[in-house]
Amino acid sequence: MQTENINCHHHELETFKAAVYAFYHAQGRHHFPWRIQHDPYSVLVSEIMLQQTQTYRVEPKFALFMQEFPNVHVLAEASLRDVLSMWQGLGYNRRGKALWQNAQRIVHEFDGHVPSCTQTLQTFASIGPNTACSIVAFAYNKPVVFIETNIRAVYLHSFFKEQENIKDSQLMPYIEATLDHANPREWYYALMDYGVYLKKMAANPSRKSAHHAVQSTFQGSDRQIRGRIIKLMVAHGTLKKDALLALLGSERKRYETILDALVHEKMVTLCDDTLFI
């Protein structure tokens, strides 16, 4: 990545870094449990929970999840039903299943140790390049370069005030040039907290991003119905297909299509018109 393409001088970057750290030291969210303990398993759990989910929803769920599954071995040996039971309220249940599958891989293939290589982590379920780098940065304090929504907001606000439709590829050189190689973990915490602050104080800077998209309405969506199906299956464990469809309501054809997708994804199992989880 070519940092010489950055349209500002070294002292401007240093001033930026000092301002971000000053904010963090004064108003940072130091209380998050996944920040207090940096063991790789805790980081793995929190990073998958935090995908597309606000911290205020994750914080209580994280604490309960860690009580139930305190280490990767306990999680790997749990049933999918138990895992999804603890996942209720977070949404995107496939992430809960992915975390469970990842725990099994870590135990069986990596002797219970979360990999510290970003390329290896990207071979795991629900872990893309940015999540892989965030795990490595927070668990192992390695100086990797990545972007997420709050980090994006900071760089858009600070370096692209008068521009629109900015691609992440334009931001990455700035992220690389300002990275604190001595303590990347704290630097990324600071960036994220500053990004949250910026979004509250003014129009969301992320609207300037070429990748910005407004999330579709949840109420009445297929995603909501998927969640209802998983919630019912977690509660019952076993249900006849017709009984489940009756519990859902009148749109039988739509519900069958969504249920078929869940069966195909192996979120639930169908055998002789009986559903299992």
Task: Give the pair of three-digit tokens for residue 60.
Answer: 């209580």
The CA distance from 169 to 81, in Å, is 40
The CA distance from 25 to 270, in Å, is 53
To the query of whether residue 148 is one of the catalytic residues in this protein, the response is: no
**What are 209's strand-pairing partners?**
166
Mapped onto helix, strand or coil, the DSSP state of residue 209 is strand
At residue 185's C-alpha, the angle toward residues 181 and 187, to 5°, is 70
At residue 213's C-alpha, the angle toward residues 46 and 262, to 5°, is 60
Contact in structure between 201 and 157 (CB atoms under 8 Å): no
Put residue 209 in one of left, alpha, beta given phi > 0 → left and psi -120 to 50 → alpha: beta
Residue 72 one-letter amino acid:
V
The CA distance from 65 to 34, in Å, is 12
Q: What is the dihedral of CA 74, 235, 215, 128, to 10 degrees?
A: 20
Provide φ and ψ at 240, rounded to 5°.
-65, 145
Task: Give the pair of three-digit tokens for residue 250.
Answer: 């009148």
Task: Give the pair of three-digit tokens for residue 91.
Answer: 């949404």
Q: What is the dihedral of CA 61, 63, 65, 70, to 10 degrees?
A: 170
Please tell me which residue in 4, 47, 251, 265 is annotated as part of the active site: 47
Positions marked catalytic = 47
